[in-house]
């Protein structure tokens, strides 16, 4: 499953980036966006994940996010998440750069996690910026309103047409530019600017490996494509790395 080239690159590496998308959380029971049971099959991004749609129809947008928040409440990190947490301890520099908003990487134990598209466990008032937890707002039937200023409360995620959080973006850029090995895991690599990171890393000298169920726009532009499930491949890879570390 793993080429001698990848094993040797991982053996010599000092800095690793794991760039992840919805496929990373699929085995935890979180539906992907564009796969066969993708949540956007029923909805379209332009209807839901953008600010205008929210202002035009806050109840519909909230219905979708409440559905996803409910899912997130009952799911656990999967073996792929735990493998990345173990991998972080094997390298001097290790960053997870995720497009996911489900907080599963942190719950699995990764310390350096950059969330490019926000976090569905946080919400804030568009009027006065007050933050609200899911517990505080999930009791509302329709779109929740701020107790301080009556403004609409929105999920703290990055919608289409919105800028990514600058601190997360620049830290991710810096990690990509200094990575020896850059993994792109469970992402269709269609949403920008996040999707530009793998090739940016490659141009800066990283060995870029893609782990995905199917090939993507990236697959023929990077160094190695490993077909399969993140929750199966990553634990196997970490087992191999730990075995070779003990043999030394």
Identify the DSSP state of 1: -
Stretch that binds ligand BV8, among 7-15, 124-132, 169-177, 207-215 (CB under 6 A): 207-215
Stretch that binds ligand BV8, among 7-15, 165-173, 199-207, 226-234 (CB under 6 A): 226-234
Distance CA 12, CA 103 (A): 30
119 binds, among Zn ion, ligand BV8, none (CB under 5 to 8 A by kind): none
With residues binned 3-state (H G I as helix, E B as strand, rest as coil), the percentages for the chain, rounded to 5, are: 45, 20, 40
Stretch that binds ligand BV8, among 141-149, 161-169, 173-181, 240-248 (CB under 6 A): 161-169
Binding-site member from 71, 157, 200, 240 for ligand BV8 (CB under 6 A) = 157
* CB-based closest residue to ligand BV8: 23
Which residues in 193-217 are b (16+ Cβ under 10 Å) and which e? ebbebbbbbbeeebbbbbbbeeebe
- Count interface residues toward ligand BV8 (CB under 6 A): 37
Distance CA 55, CA 127 (A): 12
DSSP per-residue string spanning 82-146: HHHHHHHTTSSEEEEEE---S-HHHHHT-SSEEETTEEEEEEEETTT--EEEHHHHTT-SSS-B-
Distance CA 62, CA 142 (A): 7
Please list the active-site residues.
117
Q: CB under 8 Å to 78, separation ≥6 — which residues?
A: 25, 27, 28, 104, 230, 231
216 binds, among ligand BV8, Zn ion, none (CB under 5 to 8 A by kind): ligand BV8
Binding-site member from 161, 203, 205, 244 for ligand BV8 (CB under 6 A) = 161
Binding-site member from 9, 13, 17, 27 for ligand BV8 (CB under 6 A) = 27
Stretch that binds ligand BV8, among 3-11, 89-97, 139-147, 228-236 (CB under 6 A): 228-236
- CB neighbourhood size of 5 (10 A): 12
* CB-based closest residue to Zn ion: 146
Contact letters (x/-) for ligand BV8, 94-133, by CB under 6 A?
-----xxx---------------x----------------
31 binds, among ligand BV8, Zn ion, none (CB under 5 to 8 A by kind): none
Q: In terms of CB distance, is 145 or 229 closer to ligand BV8?
A: 229
If binding is defined by CB under 6 A, does position 229 make contact with ligand BV8?
yes
**For 226, how many CA atoms within 13 A lie in the half-sphere containing its CB?**
21
If binding is defined by CB under 6 A, does position 84 make contact with ligand BV8?
no
Q: Which residues of the shown chain bind ligand BV8 in the complex (CB under 6 A)?
A: 21-23, 26-27, 32-35, 38, 49, 99-101, 117, 157-163, 186-188, 190-193, 211-214, 216, 229-231
């Amino acid at each position: 499953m793993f080429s001698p080239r990848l094993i040797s690159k991982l053996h010599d590496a000092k800095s690793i980036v794991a760039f992840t998308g919805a496929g990373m959380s699929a085995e935890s029971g979180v539906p992907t966006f564009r796969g066969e049971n993708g949540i956007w099959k029923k909805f379209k991004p332009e209807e839901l994940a953008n600010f205008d749609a929210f202002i035009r129809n806050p109840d519909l947008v909230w219905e979708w996010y409440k559905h996803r928040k409910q899912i997130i409440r009952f799911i656990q990190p999967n073996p792929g998440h735990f493998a990345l947490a173990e991998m972080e301890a094997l390298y001097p520099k290790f960053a997870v750069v995720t497009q996911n908003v489900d907080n599963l990487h942190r719950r699995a134990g990764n310390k350096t996690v950059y969330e490019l598209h926000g976090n569905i466990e946080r919400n804030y008032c568009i009027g006065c910026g007050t933050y609200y937890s899911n517990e505080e707002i999930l009791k509302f039937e329709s779109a929740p309103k701020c107790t301080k200023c009556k403004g609409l409360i929105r999920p703290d995620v990055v919608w289409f047409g919105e800028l990514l959080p600058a601190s997360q973006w620049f830290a991710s850029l810096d990690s990509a530019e200094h990575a020896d090995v850059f993994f792109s895991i469970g992402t269709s690599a269609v949403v920008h600017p996040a999707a530009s990171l793998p090739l940016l890393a490659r141009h800066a000298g990283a060995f870029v490996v893609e782990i995905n169920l199917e090939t993507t726009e990236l697959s023929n532009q990077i160094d190695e494509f490993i077909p399969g499930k993140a929750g199966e491949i990553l634990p196997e890879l970490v087992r191999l790395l730990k075995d070779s570390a003990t043999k030394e």
